[in-house]
Structure 1
């Protein structure tokens, strides 16, 4: 587990970087596509959702019972139908990417502009972790660019001063 600090702009920036976001979503898609046929079946997406263990009961010591199997199946079917935009019975890479973009932008809206700390899984990939790492890399690149610019300006000033001194002699 890692803890990252992020807000909605962190997530939006990651989604807006189309090549970085596509690489991330495509990697997740490939990991979920167990049989490698290029589409996610209902069973493949369900296995991924089940791995989140969101429906194991209320959790954290709650006395709430786990949901009924029929309710769980209905929920998984509804999620699958949300991803399967064309109703083909399979989720292709473009559908998966479009829905993940929509989900991530909804997360960004929910986060708003107040930074929060989030515990994320280091293993198995986390879009939020990737968003935070993406933002950190952008900040590091800007800092390096600013440093290089400042060094170049200082060098130019030193050369100009040396030229003035040389002309004065």
Structure 2
């Protein structure tokens, strides 16, 4: 687990950098496409969603009951339908990229302009971690450029 500081502009900048965002989406898509057929099946996307463990109940010591399996299945189906824009029964690379862009921009809107510390998974990859690393690289490049200008000007 890593902690990064970011705000909405960090995420928007990452999404706006087509090359950086595409590399990230391409890597994530390839990792999810376990059978290598170039599309994500309902089962492949569901495995990815299950790995987030968002629906495991209230957590340790919680009195909340675990979710009802039929409700969980309906939720996963709904998410799949959101990704499968053309309703072909599979999520192609373009659909995945477009939906991830939409999700990341919604996250940016939710973050707003106040910097926040966010815990991110640094083992399996994280779009938020990549956004923070992208911002760090952009700042470092500006600092190098300014330092070079100063050195050349003196």
1 CA distance for matches of 2:81 and 2:60?
Answer: 30
1:75 maps onto 2:75 in alignment: yes
CA distance in 1, matches of 2:24, 2:11: 13
Match of 1:11 in 2: 11
Q: Which residue of 1 aligns with 2:62?
A: 62
Task: Report matched runs for 1:1-169 at 5 Å.
Answer: 1-154=1-154
**What is the total number of aligned residue pairs between the two structures?**
154
> Higher RCO, 1 or 2 (CA under 8 Å, sep at least 6)?
2
Superposition misfits of 4+ residues, deviation over 4 angstroms: none
Secondary structure class of the residue paired with 2:29: helix
Give 1:60 shift: 4.3
- Higher-Rg structure is 1
Q: Distance in 2 between matches of 1:104 and 1:122?
A: 18
> Unaligned regions of 5+ residues in structure 1, if any?
155-169
Question: Shift of the alpha carbon at 1:117?
Answer: 0.2
Give the match's secondary structure for 1:94. Answer: helix
